[in-house]
Amino acid sequence: MTTVKILLSENPVVVFSKTTCCISHSIIELIRKFGANPMIYELPYGNRIERELQELGCSPIVPAVFIGKKLVGDANELITLNLESKLRSLLINANAIWIMIGGVPVMDRDMRITRKWKVVTGDK
> Does residue 25 lie within any of the structural domains?
yes
Confidence band (pLDDT; 50, 70, 90) for 70?
very high
Residue 82 lies inside a defined structural domain of this protein: yes
Domain that holds residue 86: 3-97
Residue 51 located in a structural domain: yes
Instruction: Answer whether residue 116 is part of any domain.
Output: no
pLDDT tens digits, one per residue of 14-32: 999 988 888 999 999 999 9
pLDDT band, residue 118 (cuts 50/70/90): very low
Q: What is the mean pLDDT of residues 77-104?
A: 87
Residue 120 lies inside a defined structural domain of this protein: no
Mean pLDDT, the chain, whole residue set: 81
The number of distinct structural domains making up the chain is: 1
More confident of the two residues 55 and 117? 55
CATH (domain of 82): 3.40.30.10
Within-domain flag for 110: no
* Over residues 77-96, mean pLDDT: 94
DSSP character string of 5-54: HHHHHH-SEEEEE-TT-HHHHHHHHHHHHTT---EEEEPPTT-HHHHHHH
Q: Residue 67 — pLDDT band, cuts 50, 70, 90? A: very high
CA 40-67-25 angle, 5° bins: 35
Whether residue 109 is contained in a domain is answered as no
The answer as to whether 107 is a domain residue is no
CA atoms 80, 31, 46, 57: torsion sign: negative
